[in-house]
Structure 1
Amino acid sequence: MITIEEITHNNQQALELPNEPFELFGKLVVTRSNDTWDYYEVSTKHETMIFPDEHYQLDIINEKGYALGAFDDNKCVGLAIFENNWNKYLYLSDLKVTSSHRRKNIATMLLNTAIKISTEHDISGLYTIAQDNNLSANRFYLRYGFSIGGLNTKNYHFTNQKGKYDIYYYFEF
């Protein structure tokens, strides 16, 4: 049975959850006209990607916000990192689930718990960023109920990932 817990000094080893490969198979193309965000999907060559591992420190996370872990029989299988923001949105800076536990609603459980905590602390919504070529993440946020609120076309301009965009998602509660 999956349990969601706030990360504390007692379970902070969960912050060491390694990143695992995920499939890239398309991108979300975002446009804006007449104050409305539109999008459509484009298929791309199948690739595998893995983000570099983070080296999270609980004290730093707690200064900015908090972390939640998803545990299966006391083993961390999912992690969400949240940062407080000035505008009553809580920033979801990281969300990951082990490959063996993906597609089992664990990411949804993490977000649902964050929303419950947030409503008790005068937070009015969540926001996050997904890369346009991570179609699985984009589909997840849209299916969860996030709406597109922005597009950054310049973040990767001077990197070897030139042409990649960041999509900003917002969820209000």
Structure 2
Amino acid sequence: MVMRMTHENIRDYNKSNESLVVFGRIIPKYENENWSYTEEIFSEQYIKQYENDDIDISYIENKDKAVFFYYEGNNCIGQIRLRTNWNGFAFIEEITVAINWRQRGIGTELLMKAIKWAKQNNLVGLMLETQDVNLSACRFYAKNNFVIGAVDNMLYTNFSTANEKAIIWYYKF
């Protein structure tokens, strides 16, 4: 079941933020005004954990923002956080699924909820950013008909341990 974040369930914010295994990266290529990519599988895997975000109650009260939780019974096992963006797209700031619940369609259901929300807000599609080394996420977005719109090779250069590029994905209605 997918439910919007309210004051009553705000405690579930960040519950599904769990680590991921980094096992490869995409290598994007821009040619003839089109993006494509190949994959590089790493010889050694590593674990990556994103920090929890501070709870922002404006996602409850602001019509241009929303957080939706995915519940299995009373357990929050997924989350998607989005807002309207200046370019007419809904910007997905975060999408997470608890590690033991991945590969079961929960992320896709959260994307469907984001699409519905974006259409209700008269937006033209969805957009998001992820790292090239989050290969499972890149595969997920491609499988759900997102396309690469840009690559930013400077976004993470301030972090000496991050050998990553930002990939901007789009899904246009």
Scaled by the length of structure 2, the TM-score of the pair is 0.93
Q: Which residue of 2 aligns with 1:49?
A: 48
Cα distance, 1:147 vs structure 2: 0.4
Q: Which residue of 2 aligns with 1:34?
A: 32
Q: Which residue of 2 aligns with 1:4?
A: 2
Cα distance, 1:156 vs structure 2: 1.7
Structure 1 range deviating more: 23-32 or 45-54: 45-54
Cα distance, 1:162 vs structure 2: 4.9
The question of whether the paired residues in 2 share the 8 Å contact of 1:15 and 1:57 is answered with no
Code of the residue aligned with 1:120 in structure 2: it is Q
> Do the aligned partners of residues 65 and 79 (structure 1) sit closer, same or farther apart at CA in structure 2, a change above 3 Å counting?
same
Q: Deviations over 1:79-134 (max 9, x none)?
A: 10001112210000000011121111111001101111221220110000110011
Q: Which residue of 2 aligns with 1:139?
A: 139
Q: Which residue of 2 aligns with 1:172?
A: 172
Name stretches of at least 5 consecutive residues in structure 1 with no aligned partner: none
The question of whether the paired residues in 2 share the 8 Å contact of 1:153 and 1:165 is answered with yes
Cα distance, 1:77 vs structure 2: 0.5
> Do the aligned partners of residues 7 and 32 (structure 1) sit closer, same or farther apart at CA in structure 2, a change above 3 Å counting?
same
State the distance in 2 between where 1:145 and 1:137 align. Answer: 13
Code of the residue aligned with 2:84 in structure 1: it is N
Please report the RMSD computed on the Cα atoms of aligned residues, expressed in angstroms: 1.5
The question of whether the paired residues in 1 share the 8 Å contact of 2:27 and 2:40 is answered with yes
Code of the residue aligned with 1:89 in structure 2: it is F
The question of whether the paired residues in 1 share the 8 Å contact of 2:16 and 2:77 is answered with no
Q: Which residue of 2 aligns with 1:24?
A: 22
State the distance in 2 between where 1:105 and 1:94 align. Answer: 17
How many equivalent pairs are there? 171
Runs of 4+ with >4 A deviation: none
1:58 and 2:57 equivalent? yes
| Secondary structure of residue in 2 paired with 1:30 | strand
Name stretches of at least 5 consecutive residues in structure 2 with no aligned partner: none
The question of whether the paired residues in 2 share the 8 Å contact of 1:128 and 1:169 is answered with yes
| Secondary structure of residue in 2 paired with 1:108 | helix
Code of the residue aligned with 2:171 in structure 1: it is F
The question of whether the paired residues in 2 share the 8 Å contact of 1:156 and 1:165 is answered with yes
The question of whether the paired residues in 2 share the 8 Å contact of 1:5 and 1:70 is answered with yes
1:119 and 2:119 equivalent? yes
